Amino acid sequence: MHWTTTGLWLAVVASGLYHGVNPGMGWPLAVSAGLMGRGRKDLLAALALLAAGHILAMLAILLPFALVSALLSWQHEIRAGASAVVVAFGILRLVNRRHPRALARIKPTQLALWSFAIATAHGAGLMLLPIYLGLCSVEGLDAAHKATSILMAQNLAMALLVSVMHALAMVTAGGVIALLVHAWLGLKFISQSWFNLDLVWAISLILIGGVGLITA
């Protein structure tokens, strides 16, 4: 069972849209910035900071694997181990949905830092890990024809591309909702339509990690 490259990229975008829709990733803070500041300009600036923090959170997880995934002889073990970590984290999120207390110490005005911390705590980068390693798969290639330094550079570039694509999808989905709430729907929409995706998130981590184990 193998994921196609197109399917993997769709998964990167879909998970980004999923994260963006979740209010826990910060779009209500962008609405707040717009309402309390200079309107849409501050809202868009807040979204940019949220995206920057999200990208950094993705890279913090993906970059170390970009370096070690160049070890061709350990490729399957690395993918299986990474997928097992994702499953374990999903189970942890399923059992304990409390957020680390340290997150409460970050001021909402520090949006990039807050976005980085919340995405890390939720395992947003871990969710991308099996997908990313699938995109970096070099099965069928002769290692003698693939210099490790070249492969490592390609994997680092892929980590950056996956992180940026995912964050763009995230900030697009969250941004559309934030703009709608700011311009038309109003704060009443948030209080009446708030939804918690933590349970779905935990199950998604387990499913994606399981698929990663199978495909490894």
Entry pTM:
0.79
Name which residue leads in pLDDT, 162 or 200. Answer: 162
Total number of domains in the chain: 1
The whole-angstrom separation of Cα 157 and Cα 59 is: 11
Given this model, what pLDDT does residue 144 score? 44
The whole-angstrom separation of Cα 76 and Cα 72 is: 8
Q: Which range of residues forms the domain containing residue 98?
A: 5-215
For the segment 108-142, what is each residue's pLDDT rounded down to a tens digit? 668 898 889 888 877 788 888 888 887 776 544 44
The whole-angstrom separation of Cα 28 and Cα 22 is: 10
The whole-angstrom separation of Cα 134 and Cα 82 is: 11
pLDDT at 161 exceeding the cut of 50: yes
CA dihedral 88, 13, 153, 120 (to 10 degrees): -40
The whole-angstrom separation of Cα 169 and Cα 70 is: 28
Given this model, what pLDDT does residue 166 score? 93
Q: Render 103-142 in DSSP notation, one character per residue.
A: GGGS-TT-HHHHHHHHHHHHTHHHHHHHHHHHHT--TTS-
Give the pLDDT band (50/70/90) at residue 69.
Answer: low
86 — phi, psi (to 5°)? -65, -45
Mean pLDDT, the chain, whole residue set:
79
Name which residue leads in pLDDT, 27 or 69. Answer: 27
Percent of the chain with pLDDT over 70: 76
For the segment 28-40, what is each residue's pLDDT rounded down to a tens digit? 889 988 888 888 8
139: nearest Cα among 12, 1, 6, 7:
1
CA dihedral 146, 152, 155, 159 (to 10 degrees): 180
Name which residue leads in pLDDT, 212 or 3. Answer: 212
What is the three-class DSSP state of 22?
coil
